[in-house]
Amino acid sequence: MSPASSITDSTGAVQTALTLGPLVGLNSVQAAAGTGITVTFTANGAAGAPAAIVKVAGDAQTAASGTAVAVKPAVRLTDAHGNAVPGASVMFAVAAGGGSVTGASVTSDGTGRATVGGWTLGTSGAQSLTATSGSLTTTFTATIGGPAAAVGSTVLNTHADTLTALGDTYQLTAQARDSLNRAVAGAFTWVSRTPAHATVSAGGLVTAVANGSTWVVATDTSGTRDSAQVVVQQRVATVLVSPAARSIYLTRNFTFTAQAVDGRGHPLPGAPTFTWASNAPATASVDSTGLVTGLGLGPVQISATTGGITGVAAISVLTPITRIVVGRDSVGLPVTDTTALAALGRTRKFRALAYDTASAPMTGVTFAWTSTNGSVAVLDSVTGVTARATAAANGLTAITATAQGVSGSAGLSVSQVQASIVVTPAADTIAVGGSTRFTARALDSNTHALAGAAGFRFHSLQPGTASVDSVTGVVIGVANGTAFITATLGALTSNQVQVVVGGTVPATLSFGRDTLSVGRGSMAVDLNA
């Protein structure tokens, strides 16, 4: 049968090719899907074309010239596997001696036997008769002589044979011979000494019944007899593994059974020993009892072998995980948290939990973690069930946990919130009429600057000493003294920076990190403006 395992098409149908066994009789194949769903197809094996023609009666006889031989010549037709071929045409014809035949065209019976109506010998010389079926031919011979002598012995065509399947048959034939060992006509009675093991029909057809042996005896009316020992010994022809197909979950197990049957599907007696094997032991293992354990995901073939014959079953190892929940770790459980991380460098610990087909939480599952947007949040402190995400930039990402081909995720938003304002530089000195510029920046709670922050308003706490442009942050010295400058944005107020007006101001050109000053009382220019 090929293939032994297949997948249904879009209509739900599936098919395979079945090659029948060599023996005539019923063949069956079982299709299995899922767990416990089976259907059985049957096909009847018929005999093939004739492959051999064998003489079974009426050869080497002696009769008076112009008379018919006592035993009508008969042949048996078999196919390439030794099965009797019924319904085959056989033509008998005189080949030498000038005799004649009646009933020359014969059709073989249910046992493959074809018997000529009669053969009358010629007047002299060698006598022969051919039996032909297609390209197959055999020749009978006869000798012209006086009347045959009385039966002196009975001889069977074989004295020992072995049948390997219950229900198998074998055709025994008997021949009566005179004291000169010439074939003569005989009438026989057939008996099996142990019919519990094999029976015999009135025509000598032996049928296997049970393992064991018997003697089959053919007795002629003259009292002569011969016997043949027939042994019935079943041999393994097929190993049936049950079920033929099965799905199991990862880490779970299932026990398969195997049965050895003969060529006609009859189980062998006793308990044959099977050798079990897996063609993918990393995916599914099997022990000496047929216990299969799922170790990885995918298809596997499990085989059982005895007597050199192997049977197989198809297995699919599936994941029991139906869903994975990912959320903020809260006392060992994942919970939904839609709150954005308000500062760069802040962290959130995530936990994953897998659920099985019964919606029950699973233990012992190890997850692989990823952040779909690593520029927004990076993962560190990763374990099999948890991962910590650290905010790196404003934006959105998803934290994903994957196990056994199933994934779950939770969204994470990073959105910096203004927590403070810082004004730089912290202090400066200018002359009356001179100027300098201060810069304000918004920071989150981890002192990371917020990009794009705008709308700062600058204030001078001593405008009589130094005034400040509320938008640009440019400070102008009004009178000698000290003034403090702040910046506000919404409800936030920055640190106070000091401006000293007067005092000693360099008369030379000087460069600061962010400013350029020229002369005493000159303006300080912010190079970053």
Q: What is the CATH number of the domain that holds 497?
A: 2.60.40.1080
Separation CA 472–CA 460 (nearest Å): 13
- Could you tell me if 192 and 274 lie in one domain? no
391, 414, 437 - which closes a domain:
414
pLDDT of residue 410: 94
Q: Residue 227 forms beta bridges with which residues?
A: 217
Q: Do residues 331 and 402 make contact, with C-beta atoms less than 8 angstroms apart?
A: no
Residue that the structure tokens 């869903």 belong to: 323
- Could you tell me if 330 and 409 lie in one domain? yes
pLDDT tens for the 529 residues of the chain, in order? 678 777 888 787 878 776 766 766 566 667 777 666 777 666 666 778 999 999 999 999 988 877 889 999 999 999 999 899 999 999 999 999 888 999 999 999 999 999 999 999 887 789 999 999 999 999 999 998 765 457 888 899 888 889 999 999 999 999 988 887 877 888 999 999 999 999 999 999 999 999 999 999 999 999 999 999 999 999 999 999 999 999 999 889 999 999 999 999 999 998 899 999 999 999 999 999 999 999 999 999 999 999 999 999 999 999 999 999 999 999 889 998 888 899 999 999 999 999 998 888 999 899 999 999 999 999 988 999 999 999 999 999 999 999 999 999 999 999 999 999 999 999 999 999 999 999 999 999 999 999 888 999 999 999 999 999 999 999 999 999 999 999 999 999 999 999 999 955 454 445 555 555 544 444 445 554 4
The three-state secondary structure class of 184 is: strand
Which backbone phi and psi does 409 adopt, to 5 degrees? -150, 160
Separation CA 288–CA 285 (nearest Å): 10
30 lies in a domain? no
What CATH number is attached to the domain comprising 140? 2.60.40.10
Find the domain containing 344 and state its range: 323-414
313 lies in a domain? yes
Separation CA 529–CA 513 (nearest Å): 13
Per-residue exposure over 421-458, b if at least 16 CB sit within 10 Å of its own CB, e if not: bbbebeebbbbbebbbbbbbbbbbeeebebeeeeebeb
Q: Residue 7 forms beta bridges with which residues?
A: none
Q: Under 8 Å CB-to-CB from 227, ≥6 apart: which residues? A: 156, 159, 215, 216, 217, 218
Residue that the structure tokens 């197989």 belong to: 312
Strand order, beta sheet including 333-335 = 333-335, 323-330, 347-355, 386-391, 377-380
pLDDT of residue 508: 41
Q: Of the candidates 224, 112, 106, which has an alpha carbon nearest to the alpha carbon of residue 175?
A: 224
Q: Of the candidates 124, 125, 106, which has an alpha carbon nearest to the alpha carbon of residue 115?
A: 106
- Could you tell me if 477 and 440 lie in one domain? yes
- Could you tell me if 405 and 454 lie in one domain? no
Q: Do residues 98 and 92 make contact, with C-beta atoms less than 8 angstroms apart?
A: no
- Could you tell me if 164 and 111 lie in one domain? no
Residue type, 218: A
510 lies in a domain? no
Residue that the structure tokens 């492959």 belong to: 51
- Could you tell me if 57 and 136 lie in one domain? yes
| CA distances in angstroms from 408 to 236, 325, 350, 389, listed in the order given | 52, 6, 12, 16
- Could you tell me if 362 and 309 lie in one domain? no
Q: Under 8 Å CB-to-CB from 441, ≥6 apart: which residues? A: 421, 422, 424, 449, 450, 453
Tokens, residue 315: 């297995």
317, 350, 375 - which closes a domain:
317
527 lies in a domain? no
User: Taking the model in full, what pTM does it have?
Assistant: 0.51
242 lies in a domain? yes
pLDDT of residue 509: 47
In which element (H, E) is residue 139 found? strand 136-144
In the chain, the number of structural domains is 5
Separation CA 250–CA 488 (nearest Å): 62
42 lies in a domain? no
Q: Do residues 328 and 337 make contact, with C-beta atoms less than 8 angstroms apart?
A: yes
117 lies in a domain? yes
- Could you tell me if 127 and 75 lie in one domain? yes
Any idea what DSSP says for residue 279? S
Q: Do residues 201 and 110 make contact, with C-beta atoms less than 8 angstroms apart?
A: no
**HSE-CB of 399 using CA atoms within 13 angstroms:** 34
373, 393, 414 - which closes a domain:
414
508 lies in a domain? no
In which element (H, E) is residue 487 found? strand 481-489
Separation CA 383–CA 372 (nearest Å): 18
- Could you tell me if 401 and 358 lie in one domain? yes
Pairing relationship of beta strands 333-335 and 323-330 according to DSSP bridges: antiparallel
- Could you tell me if 59 and 140 lie in one domain? yes
- Could you tell me if 194 and 249 lie in one domain? no
- Could you tell me if 192 and 206 lie in one domain? yes
Q: Do residues 244 and 199 make contact, with C-beta atoms less than 8 angstroms apart?
A: no
Separation CA 230–CA 170 (nearest Å): 9
